[in-house]
Structure 1
């Protein structure tokens, strides 16, 4: 007999964990450049609020479940109200691998990407509607 699956109505948070060789450098980027709020400080794991229930966790690779790897097949996507204002801002602070904003009619978004200090790609996007 299969047990009933619990409802997601009671789900509280979604946390995506990323693994870093230099946790303090990553923390400075997510706090100072992106302006995210440190919500939970677990010492070697720092969890930042992105939205009401969406979080990104930065983990010291020497303590976490995984190790940092040079290939980063993960993208953090943040939906913002004004993608062009965000592009102007991140361009002014010199983030790595910054691409110009582009509109994607089929997806109904305008977006650009850049890298965090260890190469994780961040996409900022706004809805075209």
Structure 2
């Protein structure tokens, strides 16, 4: 079976302008496409993974991102500590330091975007995770 060539995750915000500023100015993600009510950002080098942030059509129905229908958007990077320092310097509310998870063998931290989505910055510290390529 052929594999998919690209991946896009869409998030919806009642105030998309605040979210767009966050993804463009704080995370500095490259804008791949502005569709007016939705902006799509490149999240990984090579044009294979994207994040779309769109104007919501209704208020959020569930606050727990781990409930069915919820989402946790994870950015994978080899330098979690540098991302933590970079975001802290921009005034983003963060935990004091990245944490190690023995259960998943990852180093990570969580933050929220202006629409309340739970974001994670993570490094897999395990040999069975595939290298990007």
User: Are residue 58 (structure 1) and residue 53 (structure 2) matched?
Assistant: yes
Tell me which structure has the larger Cα radius of gyration.
1
| Displacement after TM superposition at 1:94 (Å) | 1.7
Separation (CA, whole Å) in 2 of partners of 1:68 and 1:29: 20
Distance 1:16 1:101, change over 3 A: same
Counting matched residue pairs gives 117
Q: Which runs of 5+ in 2 are unaligned?
A: 66-70, 127-133
| Cα-to-partner distance string for 1:75-99 (whole Å, 9 max, x where unaligned) | 1100112101111111111223x22
User: Are residue 71 (structure 1) and residue 63 (structure 2) matched?
Assistant: yes
What is the root-mean-square deviation in Å for CA atoms of aligned residues?
Answer: 1.6
TM-score (norm 1): 0.82
- Residue 118 of structure 1: SS of its match in structure 2? coil
Runs of 4+ with >6 A deviation:
none
Separation (CA, whole Å) in 2 of partners of 1:68 and 1:118: 10
Separation (CA, whole Å) in 1 of partners of 2:91 and 2:118: 15
